[in-house]
Amino acid sequence: MMVAALTERMRLRAVRESGLIHAKTTVPLSVFVLVPQFALMGFAEMLVEVGRWSSSTTRRRRG
């Protein structure tokens, strides 16, 4: 959430500096601004999947 808030703050700053507050146009930002968000989400999903896999192998019935 913190990275999303920082990204949104950066986007809003770019809008104000460009004078696009009420304009119906795109914001002049690079797509690479979103890389930290996607990297953190990918890391979090990896941790969830490892936890799922570990949980499913340890709780499996043995019989």
Per-residue pLDDT tens over the stretch 17-41:
888 888 888 888 888 988 988 999 8
Query: For residues 31 and 1, which has the higher predicted lDDT (pLDDT)?
Result: 31
Number of H helices, E strands in the chain: 2, 0
Q: What domain range includes position 38?
A: 2-58
Given this model, what pLDDT does residue 25 score?
84
Confidence class for position 45, pLDDT limits 50, 70, 90: very high
In a domain, 16, yes or no: yes
The mean pLDDT value for 57-61 works out to 69
Phi and psi at 28, nearest 5°, equal -80, 70
In a domain, 23, yes or no: yes
In a domain, 63, yes or no: no
pTM passes above 0.85 = no
Q: How many domains does the chain have?
A: 1
Q: What's the mean pLDDT when you consider all of the chain? A: 85
